[in-house]
Amino acid sequence: MSETQTPAGPWTQSIRLAFYALLGLTLLAAASWLFSNVRQIPADSRAVVLHFGAQQRIAEPGLLLSWPKPIDDVVMVPAPDRVIEHRVNALLRSPDALNADMRDDNSSDALAGSGYLLTGDAGVVQLDISVFYRVNSPMDYVLQGEHVIPALDRLVERAAVAVCSARDLDTILVARPEMVSNDMNVAQQRERLRADVQHNVEQNLQRLAQAGSSLGITLERVTVQSTLPATTVTAFNAVLTASQKASQAIATANTDASLIRQKSTQLADQTRQTAQAQAREKVAKAQADTAMVTRLANTPHDPDLLARVYRERIAAILAQAESVITVSPQDDANLILQAAGQKEPSAK
């Protein structure tokens, strides 16, 4: 006699299906975990493989086959020919300081000095520095990890402080343009600013490497942009505007003075020419009026001719007078006075 198989109930079928689904998900998760470190390394990167936290190998671009976590840990790092740019924000004004500048509130000394560097001549300057570096030691770079950028910022800050303290304001930026033409050494020192910052950072990176704390990077180049604080720029602009206005006023005054001097010179020339013409005219008239007397006085053959002519003409002249009083020029005892209320003079 054959036994008949009892069909499974709905709950049994549901449990079976759930088991198969869970088994499939588990196998899929296991496969995903097993092949999690099988990846493609980009051409601009390299991979550092850490086996249980220890350095194992460095994988070049291509397909990477490695055990999954936590057996192997794969960290991507930039390739040696890839240049990375990093701007040092620690040298810039903080957002709180910028907000305080907008509110014109610098009551806090920390906010007032944020982002400023002191120069050797007690000046204040701002430096915007960007560094370009390559990863030359992937293992050291991975070991330092998140400490690479903060350490690089501190090295650049130290170099900026050292370089600025050894220079005055004019050798960092053109605070007085007239010095560029007067001192070429100042311009050369300004050009060496970037090289000095880079050399200082490179020396500190070498010291860290010698001390066993290498960051795993090598410095490619450094860009430095120096500026004055905003308030100083405003003050310089005000001084420049005032200087330009003063120069314009001086030029206008010089022009007006030149015009006045030109008009005065023209008027003086005109007055002198008029006076000279009038003088020549009066001299000519006087010469014409005295020409006959001069000719008579210079007559050599008759020296008494002038006296005879005088006596002949003086009589007609004196005849027209109402009264004539004669006084001897050798007698100083008499004085001719005009009597009050009388038309005729009296002699005493």
Give the mean model confidence (pLDDT) for residues 260-272. Answer: 92
102-133 pLDDT, tens digit each: 666 555 555 666 778 888 888 888 888 999 99
- 275 and 207 co-located in one domain: no
CA distance 29 to 36: 10
Tell me if 12 is assigned to some domain: no
Q: Give the per-residue SS3 of 125-140.
A: EEEEEEEEEEECCHHH
**How confident is residue 1, by pLDDT bands cut at 50, 70 and 90?**
very low
- 35 and 172 co-located in one domain: no
- 93 and 26 co-located in one domain: no
Tell me if 291 is assigned to some domain: yes
- 85 and 164 co-located in one domain: yes
Q: Does residue 159 contact residue 197 with C-beta atoms inside 8 Å?
A: yes
pLDDT of residue 102: 61
Can you give the residue range of the structural domain that contains 62?
A: 18-76
125-170 pLDDT, tens digit each: 888 899 999 998 888 888 888 899 999 999 999 999 999 888 888 7
Q: Tell me which residue of 84, 63, 64, 81 sits closest to 72, measured CA to CA.
A: 64
230-264 pLDDT, tens digit each: 777 777 778 888 988 999 999 999 999 999 999 99
pLDDT of residue 348: 36
Tell me if 134 is assigned to some domain: yes
Tell me if 214 is assigned to some domain: yes
What's the predicted TM-score (pTM) here?
0.58
Tell me if 215 is assigned to some domain: yes
Tell me if 64 is assigned to some domain: yes
- 329 and 280 co-located in one domain: yes
- How many domains would you assign to the chain? 3
